[in-house]
Structure 1
Amino acid sequence: MAHPRTNFNYESLAQEDQDISEFKTPIKPVDGTVTSRFIYWAIVVVTLCTIFDAALIFFVTYRYALSASPPSPLERPSTYINFENLYRNGTRPKTKHGAITSLTKVQTQTSRVEPERVLPHSNEMWMTYYGSVPIGDRRLKVTGQISTIAQSRVLDWGMENCSLVITVPALNDTSLIVSESHIDSQLLDVWALESTNRKLNVRQISYKTKPSRQKLLGSLQVEFGNTYELQSWNCKAGTYQTFELVCSGDDSDCSVDLTTVGEIQAGIYMRQYQTV
């Protein structure tokens, strides 16, 4: 039986006396210059990205720090719409109400010798029957160089006759923390400052930035165990009444420094009397 012929090609194997490298395909060496350039530019790109990320984080943190102060609150809308119409024609019976108390919402100090400095203060507040009030910073400090800025909010409609009051408990009363014991028989002038419908931002109040003085309301005597009250004035419900307490006249030697704690009606506060 005949078989088809197949052609085969043979190559001789390397003999013992032949160099085997003659039968290998030569390998091209890697260009070290290209590799080095790639690594170099990769490092440059990574470094630039790292610097950019760090700069971005710093920028965002810096902007956040600048805006850390709380934004100014929106004006509070009145909850007593058309109440005056109920009593306009006199047909609505009136109910007698006693005076109510509005504790200070803000009580901070300014220095006329450092007009641009914002003096230290406490931001801690607590909720009371009278609203949120400073916990440990209801401080009345007045000297020849330092004045106290105080602000209260007019609480209720129909109780729009306001008066500022100062009550100094007895020297050994636990409701009073006295920093200087020679506060007795000091006289303080009370100025009404420019009215505002917003609460003051104590982080921005300095002697230079405080609201301007509008009217001298009178003077208050500071004596242990006594209460003094200014003559009342008309005040609109929902508004903020702002005051500045300073040494009376040219008495540069006066010195008052006391702090009241808790909800007790002590230190400076505002009373509201019925008007309808």
Structure 2
Amino acid sequence: MSSRQAPEEHASLLHGRDSYELEDAYHNHSLSPEAEHPAWKQPTRRQWALSWGLVLLGVVTLTDLLALLYMSRIMATVYAEVGTTDLEFANPYYGLAELYKSGTVSASRIEPILNTPRVVAQVFNDRPYELAPVGEHDVFMKAFGTLSPHEKHLHVSPNTRTIAQFRTVDFGMEDCALVIRLPGAEDRVESKEPFILAPHSAFDVFRLDAPKPLDVHTLSYTSRPRIQEKIATVTPRAGEETEVARFPCAWSTLHTFEIACAPDAGSECLLDVWSSQNTTWGE
């Protein structure tokens, strides 16, 4: 009895179940998230963290680049190294020119004064690209650091020329003379180097076209200002003051000269002397 009823009961159960329910179950199963996105395709937390990390890294990098560009622009504009070459030389004698032009006051007569060069440097014919020496007498002391004595060097030989630049700084003293002062046998030379003047040495003196202060750190034979004119040939003597030339010198103007051995002076041409803060030899 039971063996015949089992197939009928199964059949009745299959036929009795609503076909719509089966279709809904099929569709619900096929449209489930797990079916649309298999587990191997679903993003993990590590992938999301990596993606956001890359985005954050890109933002930080872009911000750093913008900050560097902004800082470079500030350094090139606000904090640019402009130097003092083009700055105006302020007049400490304000109003004196107008006062004397009025005729109500007579100018005082003052004896000539010695105006030492502001820049003295050597350039070399045989080493045209070598920069002028700087700080030859600098001394390092552990307690004070590097000390730069106020010493200037006049050195002229067949392969060495000396360039000297002066500025007229005294009001009303506008008639200048370039002179070479050399020590005599009894004069004291404070420098550790001896004073040397070869016999029969003759020197050509040139005026250079240098309307701005010289930068010794970039000065060489090739970069020196061009020669404007030759003003004299002189043969200075020890213990004497030799006048090279006289020239008008308006207040605050620069005057630059070059001293070289004359072509006919020969290979023995030599002048070597140092000045100090107490004694002025050379120019």
One of 117, 120, 126 as aligned partner of 1:107: 120
Aligned pair in 2 of structure 1 residues 177, 259: CA closer, same or farther (>3 Å)?
Answer: farther
Rounded to whole Å, the distance in 1 between the matches of 2:135 and 2:74 is 24
Contact residue 184 and residue 222 of structure 1 kept, 8 A: no
Contact residue 166 and residue 220 of structure 1 kept, 8 A: no
| Mapping for residues 226-241 of structure 1, pairs under 5 Å | 226-241=240-255
**Are positions 1:211 and 2:225 aligned together?**
yes
- Corresponding letter in the other structure for 2:239: G
Rounded to whole Å, the distance in 2 between the matches of 1:242 and 1:143 is 19
Aligned pair in 2 of structure 1 residues 119, 99: CA closer, same or farther (>3 Å)?
Answer: same
Bigger drift between 225-234 and 235-244 goes to: 225-234
Aligned pair in 2 of structure 1 residues 137, 261: CA closer, same or farther (>3 Å)?
Answer: closer
Q: Which residue does 1:82 correspond to in 2?
A: 98
- Root mean square deviation of aligned Cα: 3.9
Q: TM-score, normalised by structure 2?
A: 0.62
Contact residue 143 and residue 246 of structure 1 kept, 8 A: yes
Q: Which residue does 1:15 correspond to in 2?
A: none
One of 259, 264, 271 as aligned partner of 1:256: 271
Aligned pair in 2 of structure 1 residues 51, 183: CA closer, same or farther (>3 Å)?
Answer: farther
Contact residue 109 and residue 141 of structure 1 kept, 8 A: yes
Instruction: Spell out, residue by residue over 1:226-273, the C-alpha distance to the aligned partner (whole angstroms, 9 max, x if none).
Output: 3222242222222111111111234352233322110433221xxxxx
Contact residue 199 and residue 240 of structure 1 kept, 8 A: yes
Q: Which residue does 1:118 correspond to in 2?
A: 131
One of 244, 254, 260 as aligned partner of 2:258: 244
Instruction: Spell out, residue by residue over 1:186-230, the C-alpha distance to the aligned partner (whole angstroms, 9 max, x if none).
Output: 32221122262x432323333333332233222343444332222
| Higher strand proportion | 1
Q: CA deviation at 1:59?
A: 5.5
Rounded to whole Å, the distance in 1 between the matches of 2:202 and 2:120 is 19
Aligned pair in 2 of structure 1 residues 62, 178: CA closer, same or farther (>3 Å)?
Answer: farther
4+ residue segments displaced more than 6 Å: none
Contact residue 192 and residue 244 of structure 1 kept, 8 A: yes
| Higher helix proportion | 2
Contact residue 182 and residue 282 of structure 2 kept, 8 A: yes
Name the larger-Rg structure.
Answer: 2
Aligned pair in 2 of structure 1 residues 35, 215: CA closer, same or farther (>3 Å)?
Answer: closer
Q: CA deviation at 1:104?
A: 0.6
Percent of aligned pairs with the same residue? Answer: 23
Q: SS of 2:263's equivalent?
A: coil
- Corresponding letter in the other structure for 2:276: V
Question: Which runs of 5 or more structure 2 residues have no equivalent in the other structure?
Answer: 1-42, 138-147
Rounded to whole Å, the distance in 1 between the matches of 2:110 and 2:173 is 9
Rounded to whole Å, the distance in 2 between the matches of 1:194 and 1:173 is 35
Question: Which runs of 5 or more structure 1 residues have no equivalent in the other structure?
Answer: 1-28, 125-133, 269-276
| Mapping for residues 167-182 of structure 1, pairs under 5 Å | 167-170=181-184, 173-178=188-193, 182=196
Q: CA deviation at 1:145?
A: 2.2
Q: Which has the higher contact order (CA 8 A, sep 6+)?
A: 1
Q: CA deviation at 1:95?
A: 4.0
Instruction: Spell out, residue by residue over 1:86-116, the C-alpha distance to the aligned partner (whole angstroms, 9 max, x if none).
Output: 56xxx86564321111111111122234444
Q: Which residue does 2:23 correspond to in 1?
A: none
Contact residue 107 and residue 137 of structure 1 kept, 8 A: no
Q: TM-score, normalised by structure 1?
A: 0.63
Q: CA deviation at 1:151?
A: 1.1
Q: Which residue does 1:148 correspond to in 2?
A: 162
Aligned pair in 2 of structure 1 residues 69, 148: CA closer, same or farther (>3 Å)?
Answer: farther
Q: SS of 1:208's equivalent?
A: coil
Rounded to whole Å, the distance in 2 between the matches of 1:77 and 1:51 is 44
